[in-house]
């Protein structure tokens, strides 16, 4: 019985340590380290913004280039087909009126 | 805890953030310490907490007290740290097996090699800490917040995202389990 009482006393004493638990003091460098991390975060965010903007600029430039190539190709193709149609019309006209063409 | 709410703008100016850190750093450091039981780790986790606060202060809706919100972040970061550490240890040497839910498990023997030596008072704090660490996760959180950090049941409920009655049940069961573990421990290690 005494032993059981002793055990219960030890348990109660142990549970008292909830109230008297060791409290840590923060290190004097805690705030400095935290500031450095926050600054690193800001720098990282700026870098991400700059690289995203740079990527967008590059993408727009490529789009413009592709558009120019497509346009020029289309225009050149159109000129050639118009020239061909004109020549066909001239030949047909000459044939109808039995005209001679200079080759 | 006093009612602290952010201004409606939810903007975190540098001076506001610095004041916030100044006000909460020790409280958060000690809360993290209760979970990770290691000073340097507690400092690292506390730093993570404040970085998270800095990043997500705009998401704070003001529907709870600022202190409660900060405690929620601290608990979450502490648990993340513990899980990460466990994953790293998984293939390493197993030092001890932590029980799940209400499973029983042993506490460390006193550092003295003679079990009949009376446990010194200064070791009782360590024994209590280890007993708390062996509780299930939810019981551990509730007991740490209420017993160590002296949050009310209502505040614990907000931090844990549960009801007051659930917190009451967790703390009752947690304390019951603590007594069981301590009883077993002292039965084996206390001198006659």
Chain A environment of B183 (Cβ under 8 Å): 7, 11
| All residues at 6 or more sequence positions from B180 whose CB lies less than 8 Å from its CB, including other chains | B104
- DSSP letter for B1, please: -
Rounded Cα–Cα distance for residues A45 and A42 (Å): 5
CA B35 from centre of chain: 4
B127 touches chain A (CB under 8 A): yes
Tens of pLDDT, residue by residue, chain B (192 residues):
344 444 433 445 667 888 999 999 999 999 999 999 999 999 999 999 999 999 888 878 777 789 999 999 999 999 999 998 888 777 566 655 655 544 444 454 444 444 444 456 678 889 999 999 999 999 999 999 999 999 999 999 999 999 999 999 999 999 999 999 999 999 988 765
> What's the distance, Cα to Cα, between the start and end of chain B in Å?
45
Q: Report pLDDT for B2.
A: 40
Per the model's pLDDT, the better-predicted residue between A63 and A79 turns out to be: A63
How far apart, in Å, are the Cα atoms of B9 and each of A98, B3, B91? 89, 17, 48
Tell me whether residues A24 and B26 touch, CB distance under 8 A. yes
Give the per-residue pLDDT at B52: 94
Q: If you search the block for the tokens 């001890």, which residue do you land on? A: B96
CA distance A37 to chain B (A): 8
- Cβ-Cβ contacts under 8 Å for B26 (sequence gap 6 or more): A23, A24, A25, A26
d(CA B179, CA A44): 50
SS3 content of chain B, % helix, strand, coil (to 5): 65, 0, 35
Task: Count how many pairs of residues, chain A against chain B, have C-beta atoms within 8 Å.
Answer: 76
Show the domains of chain B with their CATH numbers. Answer: 14-89 (1.10.1740.10), 121-189 (1.10.10.10)
Round to whole Å and give the CA distance between B49 and A31. Answer: 13
Task: Please tell me the distance from the alpha carbon of residue A48 to that of residue A52, in angstroms, as a whole number.
Answer: 6
- Amino acid B105: pLDDT: 47
Cβ–Cβ < 8 Å for B10, B57: yes
> How far apart are the C-alpha atoms of B52 and B35, rounded to whole Å?
18
Which residue matches tokens 């063409």?
A101
What Cα–Cα distance (Å) separates residue A65 from each residue in A57, A71, B118? Answer: 12, 10, 85
Which token pair is B90?
């998984």
- Judge residue A40's burial from the number of C-beta atoms within 10 Å of its C-beta, 0-12 exposed, 13-18 middle, 19 or more buried: exposed
So what's the ipTM on this one?
0.74
**Closest residue on chain A to B150 (Cα):** A19
Tell me the mean pLDDT in the region A26-31. 89
- The CA distances from residue A90 to A80, A81, A86, B68, in Å, are 16, 14, 6, 90
Q: What is the pLDDT of residue A96?
A: 83
- pTM of the entire structure? 0.68
Interface with chain B: mutation pick from A3, A17, A27, A39, highest number of B CBs within 10 Å: A17
| Long-range Cβ pairs for the range A62-67 (8 Å, 24+) | none
DSSP-derived secondary structure letter, B34: H
Q: What is the DSSP letter of B97?
A: P
pLDDT at A44: 75
Residue A10 contacts B, CB cutoff 8 Å? yes
Nearest to A11 among B47, B55, B179 (CB): B179
Residue A12 has pLDDT above 60, yes or no: yes
- Is some CB atom of chain B closer than 8 A to the CB atom of A15? yes
Q: How far B99 CA sits from the closest chain A CA (Å)?
A: 20
Residue A76 corresponds to which tokens in the numbers above? 């050149």
């Amino acid at each position: 019985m005494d032993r059981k009482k002793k055990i219960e006393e030890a348990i109660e004493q142990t549970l008292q340590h909830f109230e008297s638990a060791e409290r840590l003091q923060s290190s004097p460098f805690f705030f400095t380290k935290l500031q450095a991390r926050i600054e690193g975060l800001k720098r990282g965010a700026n870098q991400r913004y700059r690289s995203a903007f740079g990527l967008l600029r590059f993408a727009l430039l490529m789009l413009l280039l592709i558009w120019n190539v497509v346009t020029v190709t289309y225009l050149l193709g159109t000129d050639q087909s118009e020239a061909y149609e004109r020549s066909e019309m001239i030949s047909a006209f000459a044939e109808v009126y039995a005209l001679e063409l200079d080759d | 805890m006093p009612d602290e709410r952010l201004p409606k703008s939810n903007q975190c100016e540098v001076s506001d953030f610095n004041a916030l850190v100044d006000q909460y750093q020790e409280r958060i450091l000690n809360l993290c310490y209760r979970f990770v039981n290691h000073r340097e780790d507690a400092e690292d986790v506390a730093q993570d907490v404040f970085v998270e606060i800095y990043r997500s202060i705009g998401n704070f809706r003001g529907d709870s007290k600022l202190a409660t919100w900060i405690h929620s972040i601290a608990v979450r970061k502490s648990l993340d740290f513990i899980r990460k550490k466990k994953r790293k240890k998984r293939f390493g040497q197993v030092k001890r097996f932590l029980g799940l839910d209400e499973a029983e498990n042993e506490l460390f023997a006193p550092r003295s090699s003679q079990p009949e030596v009376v446990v010194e008072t200064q070791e009782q704090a360590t024994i209590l800490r280890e007993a708390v660490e062996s509780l299930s996760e939810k019981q551990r959180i509730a007991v740490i917040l209420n017993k160590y950090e002296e949050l009310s049941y209502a505040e614990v409920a907000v931090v844990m995202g549960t009801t007051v009655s659930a917190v009451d049940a967790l703390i009752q069961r947690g304390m019951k389990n603590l007594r069981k573990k301590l009883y077993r421990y002292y039965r084996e290690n206390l001198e006659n």
